Homo-oligomer: A and B are copies of this chain.
Amino acid sequence: MISNRNQVTEMILAAKVSKGIKWSEVSEKIGLSKEWTTAACLGQMTLDKKQAETVGALFGLPDEAVAWLQIVPYKGSLPTAVPTDPLIYRWYEIVSVYGTTIKELIHEEFGDGIMSAIDFSMDIQRKADPKGDRVNVVLSGKFLPYKTY
């Protein structure tokens, strides 16, 4: 009996390690970006029937798991409010150190509102650099103005 999406994510992770599958391969099979695809496999996005079947075939999942991939998951991928993992913490730190800066600059440009985390995309790339390669990330979110009523 599978009663939540976490169980499916654990199946995917176990199969990924034992079969040596890469996220970029999954992404290619699905035909979507590696960012969306990985998030989906990690239990954060909802797949349509065809995507779910592709993922199911790739990782050798049972039908019940394939059905769960098509259900909207309870989102949030971290075990604690402040993440302990150093790579993820650096992102938390960026929000902590630059949070008020980001707020000020978006408001200066757009006025009151937010940058959407739903109508949103992310692209992570390696950028070669003689002083040490860099991680380049582009975040794109629709600006949503606060409604006056």
Interface residues on A, range: 35 or more
Of A38, A76, A102, A135, the most chain B CB neighbours within 10 A belong to: A135
A26 to chain B, nearest CB (A): 11
| Nearest-neighbor residue (CB-CB) of A144 within chain B | B118
The answer to whether B46 and A112 have CB atoms under 8 Å apart is yes
Count this chain's copies in the assembly.
10
CA distance A132 to B132 in the complex (A): 13
A127 to chain B, nearest CB (A): 7
| Nearest-neighbor residue (CB-CB) of A84 within chain B | B76
0/1 per residue, A65-95, Cβ < 8 Å to B? 0011001101111101111111111111111
0/1 per residue, A1-19, Cβ < 8 Å to B? 1111000001101100110
Chain B residues contacting A106 (CB-CB under 8 Å) are 87, 124, 135
Subset of 11 A-B contacts with CB under 8 Å: A1-B14, A20-B67, A39-B98, A45-B146, A77-B97, A86-B114, A86-B118, A87-B106, A92-B95, A118-B146, A118-B147
